[in-house]
């Protein structure tokens, strides 16, 4: 439940940043940088054990679904 609350806050903050901040604003750029770390995680998938791979891909799919 706590995680859902923080996710809601993050989504609201992102929506506000898109409305109120220019794409070049440092805070909005920092948020984009955090999302790019997700891409780095995808690049590392082939180094995981089978169990970790399954768990990680499931979590990353959920993250991707939430981002789109």
Q: pLDDT tens, 17-46?
A: 888 999 899 988 877 776 666 667 777 888
Task: Indicate the angle between helix axes 26-43 and 50-67, nearest 10 degrees.
Answer: 150
Token pair of 1 as six digits: 């439940």
CA distance 53 to 24: 35
Percent of the chain's residues with pLDDT above 90: 4
Higher pLDDT residue, 8 or 49? Answer: 49
Closest CA to 27 of 38, 41, 37, 16: 16
């Amino acid at each position: 439940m706590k995680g859902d609350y923080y996710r809601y806050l993050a989504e609201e903050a992102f929506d506000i940043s898109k409305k109120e901040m220019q794409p070049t604003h440092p805070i909005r750029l920092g948020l984009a940088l955090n999302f790019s770390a997700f891409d780095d995680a995808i690049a590392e998938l082939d180094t995981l054990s089978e169990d970790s791979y399954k768990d990680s891909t499931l979590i990353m799919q959920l993250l991707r679904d939430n981002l789109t």
